[in-house]
Structure 1
Amino acid sequence: MKKKILLAVVGAMSVFTLAACSGNTNSEIASMKGGKLTVEDFYEKAKTDQNSQQVVFDMILSKVFTTKYGDKVTDKDVEKEIKNVFGDSFEDQLKASGLTRKDVEKSVRDSLAFKEGLKAHVKLTDADLKAAWDSFHPEVEAQLIAVMTEDEAKEVKKEVSKKDADFGKVAKEKSVDASKEDSGKVKFDSSTPATTVPEEVKAAAWELKDGEVSEPIAVNSAYGTSYYVVKMVKNQSKGNDMSKFEDKIKEIATDTKLNDSEFTTKAIGEELVDANVKIKDEAFSNILTNFIDAAETKKSSDSDAKSSDTKESETKASTEESK
């Protein structure tokens, strides 16, 4: 995520530089025996590159969403997001990237405006809320130890199961998880990212009573298989009253929508149509097609549904009159 934001800023800056130069397309970038390289030469070559197409697309989205939703993003929101993404190493990462704080702030602000725009299209149904509720588990407190082999995990399980065993001490000594610095202590619910607590670990933890220790849990990833042992400190049941967790359920249902590619494609398309975006350079003629088509398809479907409802109402009214 950190690299993605920094790379996005770098890409945007390169295009802004190109745009600034292109005011005079005959400006020379370089000269050599038998010719020269102008801004126009560079632009004609660069605009067909796939990376350039993506950058232009990103710039259009940034302009559209920031113009419409930028005022919903405060300086406080930007600072909070920077803290969430970069943590305490933000300044060091800035130096390493060669960017300025202003560059990153703009990228983060654009990203938040984009998210606000997508959220504006979210209309949660009872089915959406039920699906979120079915997958929901409230926050629990636990301790975990992560090791690299099954044999190590079995040994850890044996050690922490002894009478008066100090789970936190073993975590500090043997765990490879970041939580080892706090004796393996973690808090998580069903919406906690798998990068923080793997889904397999969460599922096993839900089944534990307070004080119980799990069997070794295998977790597969791109880096191989690791093994976890979890001790439940304080579990809790969600019960049957969804209203107690209403805000959380709505947040989960909304995030599910925002992670749905079909939903986001339509939402982006609707915003592009609303902003009356027109591509002027043939080289970029197709970068918005999928999104515009999705928006038009939805518009057509909504129109058909409305027409069907109208006909149904008219038929019903006609039937009532004949009676």
Structure 2
Amino acid sequence: MKFKKLGLVMATVFAGAALVTLSGCSSSDSASKDIITMKGDTIRVSDLYKEAKQFPSQPTNTLLQNLTFDKIFTKDFGKEVTDKDVNKKVKSLKDQYGSQFASALQQQGLTEASFTPYMRTQMLEQAAIDHEIEATQYTDANLKKAWESYHPDVTAYVVSETSKDAATKALDAAKKDDAGKASFEKTNAANKVTFNSTSTTVPTEVQTAAFKLKNGEFSSVIESTSASTGATSYYIVEMVKSSEKGSDMNKYKKELKNVIKAEKEQDTTFVSGVIAKYLKKNNVTVKESAFASIFSQFTQTSSTSSSK
């Protein structure tokens, strides 16, 4: 299990030399020295050292980014992301991974104690991204674009085989007669699923073929190669309940918004632009030259996007 940074591409190189430079000051000067300033707050060397003790496996650049994001997003979204919300999310993940939870955290350089503040920062970032999507992305143009490729729920048997030959034999047997069809449906009862065009569990090629079927019809053998594993599977689809989306886009507005939201959350240019917006809003300034470029990935991406 890998805990992702909600679309943010964080720096992965330790700034160890910079810490050595900072620690060269006298102990009192070092602890009180500003590294980053912002409206109404600051991050000092002492804050960085405290964070490094809590997250010893995290790169220094990432520690400073997280400290900054936690402060600036708390100003706008601290009331939305409560301790109760964070604890509920942590408990949900802990229940989900059971006995593997501690080892999953360890792989990411985290402990159960440090995971809670880590999750809080994640949720604050997500709140900022969600707010920006709500405020700027649910336009008529974006909704119409999402509508063009959207298909509502259908129910079908979706069966995969590891070879084309096996899939062909299974399809021929199912289409032979009513008994063959009944046997196919009984054998594959667990593979009867409901999905729409936003599904991430049914391959795109399978969706495209399925949406063309009428009730009771079988597809041809559908070949699909996984982008993550490279493995090729061969699918058979029998449509149980098809659907037509009709012409009323407003009927599916909630689903279309979910399509837009999912796309924007994966759009690194958009996410970087959100981060850049809040960095600018809070007048975030890096005072220590050793860390001068830690936010450049956000500000540069934002500038490139806005110039297009």
Fold equivalence (TM over 0.5): yes
Alignment of 1:82-231 (within 5 A): 83=92, 86=93, 89-97=96-104, 98=106, 100-122=111-133, 123=136, 124-162=138-176, 163-164=178-179, 165=181, 166-171=183-188, 183-193=190-200, 196-221=201-226, 222-231=229-238
Q: How many residues align?
A: 258
Q: Which residue of 2 aligns with 1:39?
A: none
The one-letter amino acid paired with 1:151 is: D
2-structure distance, mates of 1:212, 1:105: 50
Q: Which residue of 2 aligns with 1:68?
A: 76
> Equivalent residue of 1:187, what SS?
strand
Alignment of 1:264-275 (within 5 A): 264-275=271-282
2-structure distance, mates of 1:265, 1:237: 37
**Displacement of 1:61:** 2.8
Q: What is the aligned-residue identity percentage? A: 31
**Displacement of 1:208:** 1.0
> Equivalent residue of 2:132, what SS?
coil
Distance 1:150 1:113, change over 3 A: same
Q: Which residue of 2 aligns with 1:38?
A: none
Which consecutive unaligned segments of at least 5 residues does structure 1 have?
28-42, 172-181, 302-323
**Displacement of 1:271:** 0.7
Q: Which residue of 2 aligns with 1:174?
A: none
| Aligned residues of 2:90 and 2:116 also touching (Cα < 8 A) | no
1:252 aligns with 2:245: no
| Aligned residues of 1:147 and 1:228 also touching (Cα < 8 A) | yes
1:238 aligns with 2:267: no
| Aligned residues of 1:132 and 1:253 also touching (Cα < 8 A) | yes
2-structure distance, mates of 1:121, 1:276: 19
> Equivalent residue of 1:233, what SS?
strand
Larger Rg: 1 or 2?
Answer: 1
| TM-score normalized with structure 1 length | 0.67
| Aligned residues of 1:220 and 1:226 also touching (Cα < 8 A) | yes
> Equivalent residue of 1:143, what SS?
strand
Q: Which residue of 2 aligns with 1:4?
A: 3
Structure with the larger helix share: 1
Which consecutive unaligned segments of at least 5 residues does structure 2 have?
28-48
| Aligned residues of 2:224 and 2:234 also touching (Cα < 8 A) | yes
Distance 1:159 1:66, change over 3 A: farther
> Equivalent residue of 2:246, what SS?
coil
| Aligned residues of 1:5 and 1:108 also touching (Cα < 8 A) | no
- Map Cα deviations across residues 23-69 of structure 1 (whole Å, 9 max, x no partner): 99899xxxxxxxxxxxxxxx9xx9xx995434543443344324432
Deviation >6 Å, runs of 4+: 22-27, 296-301
**Displacement of 1:202:** 1.0
Give the root-mean-square deviation of aligned CA atoms: 3.8
Greater relative contact order (CA < 8 Å, ≥ 6 in sequence): 2
| Aligned residues of 1:66 and 1:114 also touching (Cα < 8 A) | no
Distance 1:95 1:61, change over 3 A: same
**Displacement of 1:89:** 4.0
| Greater Cα shift, 282-291 or 58-67 | 58-67
> Equivalent residue of 1:167, what SS?
helix
**Displacement of 1:198:** 0.9
> Equivalent residue of 2:193, what SS?
strand
| TM-score normalized with structure 2 length | 0.70
The one-letter amino acid paired with 1:126 is: D
| Aligned residues of 2:155 and 2:240 also touching (Cα < 8 A) | yes
1-structure distance, mates of 2:307, 2:161: 54
Aligned match for 1:289, one of 280, 296, 308: 296
